[in-house]
Every structure is written in C-alpha cells, then in structure tokens.
Amino acid sequence: MSRLTRRTLLVGCAVLAAPQVLPAFARSSVADDRDASTAAYDTLLARYVVPGKDGVTRVRYAAWRANDADLQDLNAFIGAQSNLSPSTFDAATAFAYWANLYNALTLRVVLRAYPVSTIKSIKSTGTGFDLKAFSGPWRTKLVEIEGVPMSLDDIEHGTMRPTFGDPRVHYAVNCASIGCPNLVGTAWRAATLDADLDAAARAYVNHPRGAAVSDGGSLEVSSLYKWYKEDFGSSDKGVIRHLQDFATEPLASALSGVSRIGGYDYDWSLNDA
C-alpha cells in the first residue's frame, strides 16, 4: 500500500518536524471546502478535456483559447488557489491542491502560447543562464504561494515528489503531451484521492505508451520510468514491480516473464484534440 509523508509543503522551506508515515490518504478536515473551491475548474475540465478512443485524453485548446470567459475562469481559479495556505492542509488535501494547481498552470501556459505542436517549444523565462530553460516552460516562476514564487518544477520536483514520496505523483500531474499520463477530467479531491490515483496509474500502465511487451518478450516502457527511476525502485526490477502492482490482463501475464527493460519511448506531441 502506498505511503504518504507529512512535511512542510513549500519548496525552499525547512522540514520542521519528523515526517509521519500514513497508511493511506487521510480524510481532510477541510476537504469539503477545498472540493467546493474547485467547482469552476471542474466545469472547465468537463468542457474541454475529452477522452479519445485510443485511450489518450486530449484538450480542446483551440476552443478554449477562443473563449475569453473561460480563460478568465481559469485565471480566477489559479488566483484563488494562490491565496490559500497549503502548509496548513493535511497530506491528502495538500496533494490534491498541488496536483490541481500544477495542471491548471500547465493548461494556462499552453493556452497562452497556442497554437504550438509541443509544450517543449515554450521556453522558460526569467531564469538567467539556465540551459534547461530552453527545453520547456517548467522553470518559469508562474505563481506565488505563501510568499514563495514557484515554477512547475518547484511544484513537482521541489514539493510534491520529496514531500509525499509517492510514485503516483507522476500520474497526477500532466505535461500536456501525448506520452504523459492522462489529464483527468475532474479536479483531484482529498476524499477519493487514493482510489483516483490508483485508477490513473492503472490507466497509464496498461496503455501501450506506459508499458508494452512485444511478442518476443521485450519490455518497452515510457521514458517517465527512466527519468524518475528513483521514484520507482531505482532499478529495472523496481520499475517492473511497480508496473505489476497496477497491471491487468494481458499485461500482467506478459510481465511475469520479464526481468529487464528493453527500451524507452515518449511522445512529446501536444495533447491537442
């Protein structure tokens, strides 16, 4: 069963106490209020996020870009989230908060630059001499949370991954690309977070862009499992064990005879409907 740690939730802040290991996501004392605050965001996702017959969720960016009212609603949602204090939230509510904020910011970044063929063509700004700024928008400071300017990298790699220690972070945040785990069509919620994260993991693992075993027995997986291998056990065997945790048939049987990863792949094409 997955584990979650309680730590200080802002990048750059010191850990103030030893983390507590929780058996699962706890029901948040403020979850009802937080869920209500995502209502407008839910409406936007329902309007523009569309599941494809190929199992890949896409976004109707052109239609959204053409709707000024909905662009303003997205801005308003991000603004409202930036006025909250996630350091006061319990672990599940904080996880949902950061994942929703990350995805909303990514949507806004793409919408402002649209049309683009890949998010990687949107360069980071205000970073000084940073070679990684040329590979995408993830270094740009996009929002201020509790007085701390934050980029997408700050949210995912500086906050969510070290704070929660849960590989399912990678199924919660969306990088606006075909190769990425799907952008879910509703906001993440504390009350159903564990089950929803498991569902997102299963959807990705059992899709060919997540993992596939060839007729010859070679396992090809998403490059996500290479880039963040330390989150999945730090070895091929660790990644395979993670895949087995979420695999259904026929992948589950195919993985039983696999001991190493044969290749990696990732599609950076924009998840444009």
Q: Number of structural domains, the chain?
A: 1
- Max CA-CA distance within the chain? 54
DSSP single-letter state for residue 230: G
pLDDT at 23 over 50: no
Q: Are 143 and 103 in contact (CB under 8 A)?
A: no
Q: Identify the domain containing residue 139 by its residue range.
A: 33-192
CA dist 39 and 42 (Å) reads 5
26 versus 136: which is more confidently predicted? 136
Is residue 248 in a domain? no
Lowest mean pLDDT among 17-21, 80-84, 135-139: 17-21
Is residue 273 in a domain? no
Closest CA to 90 of 3, 9, 187: 9
Is residue 103 in a domain? yes
Summarize the confidence of residues 158-164 as an average pLDDT.
Answer: 98
- The values of phi and psi at residue 23, to 5°, are -70, -25
Q: What is the mean pLDDT of the chain?
A: 89
pLDDT the model gives residue 28: 45
Is residue 208 in a domain? no
pLDDT the model gives residue 134: 66
∠ Cα 82 83 85 (to 5°): 95
Is residue 199 in a domain? no
User: 100 falls in which pLDDT band (50, 70, 90)?
Assistant: very high
Summarize the confidence of residues 192-213 as an average pLDDT.
Answer: 98
Summarize the confidence of residues 140-144 as an average pLDDT.
Answer: 97
How long a stretch of residues is the chain? Answer: 273
Is residue 168 in a domain? yes
pLDDT the model gives residue 36: 53
Count CB neighbours of 74 within 10 A.
20
pLDDT the model gives residue 186: 97
pLDDT the model gives residue 29: 46
Q: Convert the pLDDT of each residue in 117-139 to its tens digit.
A: 999 999 998 776 666 666 899 99
CA dist 137 and 122 (Å) reads 5
Is residue 197 in a domain? no
Is residue 228 in a domain? no
Q: Convert the pLDDT of each residue in 47-62 to its tens digit.
A: 999 999 999 999 999 9
Q: Convert the pLDDT of each residue in 165-199 to its tens digit.
A: 999 999 999 999 999 999 999 999 999 999 999 99
Query: Which residues neighbour 130 within 8 Å (Cβ) at sequence distance 6 or greater?
Result: 124, 139
